[in-house]
Amino acid sequence: MVLCQGGEGDAAPAAGRKEPEVPPGREDRADAVQPYLCPAPGVEAAGAEEPPSCGCCSGMSWPCCCGASGTKKKAACPGLGLFYTILSAFLFSVASLFLKKIEDVHAVEVSAFRCVFQMAFILPGLIYYKTGFLGPKGKRIFLFFRGFFGSTAMVLLYYAYQVMPLADATVITFTSPVFTSLLAWIFLKEKYSLWDLLFTLFAVTGVILIARPPFLFGSRVTGIEGNYTDHLKGTIAAITSTLSAASTIVILRKMGKSVHFFLSIWYYAVIGLIGCVIVLFVLNEWHLPHCGRDRVFLVLIGVLGLGGQIFLTKALQIEKAGPVSIMRTMDVVFAFILQVLFLNHLPTWWTVGGALCVVASSSGTAIRKWLHSVKKAKQREI
């Protein structure tokens, strides 16, 4: 596959000059011009040397192909990135459903199995790309905290799925973009406008409608799965998971493109596994599922979670981050549908109202960042 960068006025090199190579694992920021993949026979890695012609332009030479300034980019299949996003959302939702169906298995143990599965997938990639297992010395502390916050977010989210309605936990996780903007403003000095503040208030309102604290809604709270104590614990776990996930994104922005993304995932899996094993021994909860069905569910959670990550990554490679972020709200839709069909739990109007607030907040945040990146891209063209 060839990584073609288009849309910049000074992007086309002069005739006879060699196109600058893109290092493997490069991750473009949201405000950068988005690359897209063009199939070219004989080229397998992103860092490989470019041939004199581009496969997506019917063999035309470089100055006239899709990467040249002023030429129109053509997607191989319009809407493919959005389809990948919907498929990713569906796989994540089904994995969450299986987690709800598992009996007598602690959320920390499920997370440990997920980490083992992820390590087995990432290890060949580390060996192939020769990234090492520790990373650059100056980035190891960031990699450690990335792994710590990322694994913490996973464990707490799994716990929230187990003790509260599936749709409620899913909706709360979609406040992550809002909290990411807030943390980026605090730690990275990124711009935080009044619109961002408004979206944050919308997100907090949605969480309150889902949690329904008794001091606001009275002592008799209806439509709760199980008892209210577990519902409140699950809400706190989901919010903390969201904050941890937002912290992870801020750390990844801080590291930039100097660390291969396989190494970042490796830290996430290793630190998560170590932490899960310690917690399981402290809680004395380590045991294999007694039921064969639960063992199958554990494997499927790992497979579906990995598949969701792969399709989401592919979507971000061929589609802009804004549309992908908006389409990811399909997670909420799938969660509501699966909850009604397989868990026989009808959502209340409070939950629906909270979901609308959170979806509006996360979508608004994504649209603003998308428009901002488009504006910066046009400025670079000028």
Q: What are phi and psi of 173, to 5 degrees?
A: -65, -20
**pLDDT at residue 132, as a whole number:** 78
Please state, rounded to an integer, the average pLDDT across all residues of the chain. 74
Given pLDDT bands bounded at 50, 70 and 90, which one contains residue 122? Answer: confident
Q: Which neighbouring-strand residues pair with 4?
A: 36
Indicate whether 46 belongs to any domain: no
pLDDT surpassing 80 at residue 98 = yes
pLDDT surpassing 60 at residue 121 = yes
**pLDDT at residue 216, as a whole number:** 64
Indicate whether 367 belongs to any domain: yes
If one counts the domains in the chain, the total is: 1
Euclidean distance between CA atoms 306 and 310, whole angstroms: 6
Given pLDDT bands bounded at 50, 70 and 90, which one contains residue 56? Answer: very low
**pLDDT at residue 90, as a whole number:** 92
**pLDDT at residue 312, as a whole number:** 80
Say if residues 154 and 112 touch (Cβ distance below 8 Å). no
Indicate whether 1 belongs to any domain: no
**pLDDT at residue 321, as a whole number:** 63
Domain that holds residue 248: 80-379
Indicate whether 23 belongs to any domain: no
Query: Which candidate, 81, 86, 87, 92, places its Cα nearest to that of 321?
Result: 81
In sequence order, the 6+-apart residues with CB closer than 8 A to the CB of 379 are none
Q: What are phi and psi of 4, to 5 degrees?
A: -100, 130
Indicate whether 37 belongs to any domain: no
Indicate whether 162 belongs to any domain: yes
- The highest-confidence range among 41-55, 237-251, 343-357, by mean pLDDT, is 237-251
**pLDDT at residue 240, as a whole number:** 93
pLDDT surpassing 90 at residue 347 = no
**How is residue 174 written in tokens?**
């979609």
Indicate whether 29 belongs to any domain: no
Q: Which long-range contacts (CB under 8 A, 24 or more apart) does 19-25 make?
A: 19/50, 19/62, 19/67, 21/47, 21/49, 22/46, 22/47, 23/47, 23/257, 24/129, 24/260, 25/129, 25/257, 25/259, 25/260, 25/261, 25/262
Indicate whether 298 belongs to any domain: yes
